[in-house]
Amino acid sequence: MATAAELEHGDRARGCLCVLCGLPAAGKSSLSRSICLAAGRQGWRAAVLQYDELIPDQAFHAREGLPDEETTSQESRTDWKFHRNAVLKSIEQFLEKQEITLKPLGNGSIDGPTWEHTVSAPLTLEHTRADTEPLLFLLDDNFYYPSMRYEVFQLARKYSLGFCQVYAQCAVELCLSRNENRPGPVTAEVIMEMAKRLESPNSKKNQWEAKSVTVDTSENVSECEIQKVMELISSALSEPLSPVEEDEEFKEADRQRCAASIIHQADQACRRLISETMKKAKETGVSCQNMRSLATHLNESKAQFLQKLRAQVLQNPNLYQEAMDVDHVVKTALARFDTERQEILLKIFQNHLII
């Protein structure tokens, strides 16, 4: 694998977007600082974009009038996604103009002073070749869904930059313990829920995640691990993405992956509804025979529902390319299944199948 010193300026990208993903308190911030220092020793211009610092606290507050349902995530109940997009828009503006006085988009949707301080560091680097050295953006956030990371990939592709991912792997229990000692801890429920939803980089499912590496952040990260990350970034710089459209095979693979994620979440939600229904039926003294009949009807309805949902999702032309709000899709679909569930119960009662 090529090192930074071996890359000629004409052969490498002018910059690289490196996604740091993992659970809260997994050690991403410490890892990003180590990577940033190593990049400086290579002569690269580097900046760490910590989403927690750029996005204001109110972005995480639930909007009034929205139900706090099990199938509705923080991303759906808050303006968090809007602010995340504002971060990417600001990065895009910077890539176009490279000005430290650049005003972030979104009417204050990200912290302006923090943004200007972040981007001023690589631009004011005292180095005789600072304007010719590659610019490394380390995006420090949870990025627990592939769709979140794919948005960064799209931006890198648009500007022919390098793209890579570093997954900070840490046990949930350790993250919970570390979180308790933080000055502004998140709730344990948020970490546990995120752990269930987190989909780490997987190049077998997503071709665009090929340049990814996993770093164990349970303990202090070794220099060997940092070197592995630096080699990954060097490789990404040496192979900048092309802004051309993906081929049909590439797009179809992404569509199938996104559809599978939606169906999986919908299936889990439907299973919970069926389980709750069966539990209530048992509590009311329903006979074993009628319990089996109820279970059969509900499971057949679920199978047909998921089959229809998959077909509908795959027919959506905006699937994945527009970073579909998966939680909203699942919530809407679940409401339809719940209606079917109620109809099944009503039909069973009307036909006297339950005694």
- How far is it, in rounded angstroms, from Cα 221 to Cα 234? 19
Long-range contacts of 99-104 (CB under 8 A, 24+ apart): 100/124
Alpha helices in 108-183 (DSSP H): 112-123, 146-158, 172-180
In this predicted structure, what is the pLDDT of residue 43? 85
Span 343-351, mean pLDDT?
A: 69
Q: Which token pair is 105?
A: 């988009």
In this predicted structure, what is the pLDDT of residue 77? 38
Residues 61 and 78 sit within 8 Å (Cβ to Cβ): yes
Span 85-97, mean pLDDT?
A: 80
For residue 169, the cross-strand partners are: 216
If one counts every other C-beta atom within 10 angstroms of the C-beta of residue 103, the result is 12
- How far is it, in rounded angstroms, from Cα 206 to Cα 3? 26
Please, what is the average pLDDT of the chain?
77
Query: Among 153-162, 186-195, 214-223, 305-314, where is mean pLDDT lowest?
Result: 305-314
Residue 57 has pLDDT above 80, yes or no: no
In this predicted structure, what is the pLDDT of residue 279? 85
For residue 209, the cross-strand partners are: none
In this predicted structure, what is the pLDDT of residue 76? 43
What are the tens digits of pLDDT across the range 131-166?
A: 567 889 999 999 998 988 999 999 999 999 999 999
Span 287-308, mean pLDDT?
A: 86
Span 279-285, mean pLDDT?
A: 79
Kind plus residue range of the DSSP H or E element containing 6: none
Higher pLDDT among residues 73 and 267, named by residue = 267
In this predicted structure, what is the pLDDT of residue 121? 57
Span 118-124, mean pLDDT?
A: 57
Residues 76 and 68 sit within 8 Å (Cβ to Cβ): no
First to last CA, the chain: 71
Residues 71 and 330 sit within 8 Å (Cβ to Cβ): yes
- How far is it, in rounded angstroms, from Cα 52 to Cα 69? 25
Residue 332 has pLDDT above 80, yes or no: yes
In this predicted structure, what is the pLDDT of residue 18? 96
Phi and psi dihedrals of 139, rounded to 5? -95, 105
What are the tens digits of pLDDT across the range 199-255?
A: 999 988 888 999 999 999 999 999 999 999 999 999 999 999 988 655 555 666 667
pLDDT band at residue 338 under the 50/70/90 scheme: confident
In this predicted structure, what is the pLDDT of residue 200? 94
Residue 8 has pLDDT above 60, yes or no: no
Phi and psi dihedrals of 124, rounded to 5? -105, 15
In this predicted structure, what is the pLDDT of residue 330? 82
Residue 73 has pLDDT above 60, yes or no: no
In this predicted structure, what is the pLDDT of residue 100? 44
Of the candidates 172, 184, 273, 166, the one whose C-alpha atom is nearest the C-alpha of residue 227 is 166
Q: DSSP letter string over 167-233? A: EEE--HHHHHHHHHTSSSPPPHHHHHHHHHH-----TTT-GGG-SEEEEE-SSPPPHHHHHHHHHHH
pLDDT band at residue 283 under the 50/70/90 scheme: confident
Residues 203 and 209 sit within 8 Å (Cβ to Cβ): yes
* CA distances, 258 to each of 18, 145, 198, 212 (Å): 22, 10, 14, 19
When the candidates are 3.40.50.300, 3.80.30.20, 3.40.190.150, 3.40.50.1860, the CATH number that belongs to 4-238 is: 3.40.50.300
> What are the residue boundaries of the structural domains of the chain, listed by start?
4-238, 248-350
- How far is it, in rounded angstroms, from Cα 219 to Cα 209? 25
Residue 331, classed as helix, strand or coil, is helix
CA angle 326, 327, 330 (to 5 degrees): 85
